[in-house]
Amino acid sequence: MTNTAPPDPHRTEIKVRFYELDPYDHLNHTIYVAYFETARIEFLESVGFGLGRLNEMGFRIVVSQIEVDFMAPVIHGDRVVVETAVVENRRASSRWHQRMYRDGEMVAELRLRAAITDVAGKPARFPEELRIALES
């Protein structure tokens, strides 16, 4: 099922730490991806489907495709806000859109496709209650 209206994003604030910087004193590109992951986990927890609960239910959400655009550097001490929204749900996959802001300026954007699997890694259908939670 595809969402037709843009969903209200979930927001996660993260403070940049010195050990996450690259040799140019900018947030390392791999850490941006980690921040986006942190925000997705926070989003799942906010709708009642943290990783522990998903595991108890016998499901995993796994990244199958990821694309990131970097617009501006982030440095030590900055606080960023990551907005996370699920923009499409299908039988066994979903599309996520995330944006990272510093003081209202977008500094990075991520588009991601995720699959749902059972704990053995085999494709599975989204449980109805999870699909509803992600669409709300």
10-135 sits in which CATH class? Answer: alpha beta
Q: In the prediction, which pLDDT does 135 show?
A: 83
Q: Tens digit of pLDDT for each residue in 74-100?
A: 999 999 999 999 999 999 999 999 999
The model's confidence at residue 107, banded by pLDDT at 50, 70 and 90, is very high
Q: In the prediction, which pLDDT does 8 show?
A: 84
Half-sphere exposure (Cβ direction) of 4: Cα atoms closer than 13 Å:
0
Q: Tens digit of pLDDT for each residue in 117-127?
A: 999 999 999 89
- Whether 95 contacts 86, CB under 8 Å: yes
Q: Tens digit of pLDDT for each residue in 15-56?
A: 999 999 999 999 999 999 999 999 999 999 999 999 999 999
**23 forms bridges with which residues in the sheet?**
none
Within 10 Å of residue 126's Cβ, how many Cβ atoms?
21
Mean pLDDT over 50-77 rounds to 96
Non-local (6+) Cβ contacts of 133 within 8 A are 47, 48, 49
Q: How many helices (H) and strands (E) does the chain have?
A: 3, 5
**99 forms bridges with which residues in the sheet?**
83, 109
Q: Check whether 4 has a pLDDT greater than 50.
A: no
Q: Where are the alpha helices (DSSP H) in the chain?
A: 29-46, 51-57, 128-135
